[in-house]
Structure 1
């Protein structure tokens, strides 16, 4: 059984009240949810809070999931909406996190520099306008195709390409 068929079977079982199936769905999606939330907000604590909220929202909305899109796309949309809710609520108190929080003293200097550069890049990405930020994070951080990102964002594929192009221009000026 391929991954999509397995996920579909778990969704059906979970929609019928099977708690074990729901737990398996959450376990399979949690790393992606957390990673996506972290890339959007840049702070571990906030990403954990958002990921927990997303898991609750999945549980609340699972009965309404109709399978017209991939389950993972539906989860991405919920995650993006949770991040936006978090941002609108004023939970983002710090726009840039300390790059050194991800670097341990035992790491080589080159690794520390690479981590600091990556943190600087993601901080710059998080400062982009919403649509550009979403497009860049979905395409580059999550490694989705423009078509997959378009489905998640609810826009046309060409529009995703435009947002990525505009983001690159903006990032060149920021970095």
Structure 2
């Protein structure tokens, strides 16, 4: 299969449209299944497949023949799926059709506000505990944890904000979580 892929890529680089069409045929189902597993949405998965092949077509000259073509194309599909997940905002339609739920409409899915004063107090206490635990972190972990979990920035964005390698950010997030876990597990208070 690797010989076939290499041959197809070389032909596609020379402008052979049929070779590129064969690459699409080889990978379209695999990329769709990958995207569908990540996104759980058929339309979004189809969009990812289309965007993946657009990127492959535009960047075929950047493909390094020293690496497996499948690894390269999967990376593109995975990154596009992850980007969609990050940008995804919950969408709710009150008039959306719902399977066989005896005529129930979207309004039935809206949760009631059944919070009692006790649950409000518990939520408030939990937030306070978490914020206090974050405040007690060493500064190099505190900044990363605030950017990651309170500001909801990606690791890449944090890397750019702090001008540090992503690997350093990952390490600090991991260690920060460990500090928090230990603080929250210890019965001090």
With normalisation by structure 2, the TM-score equals 0.46
The structure with the largest helix share of the pair is 1
Give TM-score, length-normalised by structure 1: 0.50
Structure with bigger gyration radius: 2
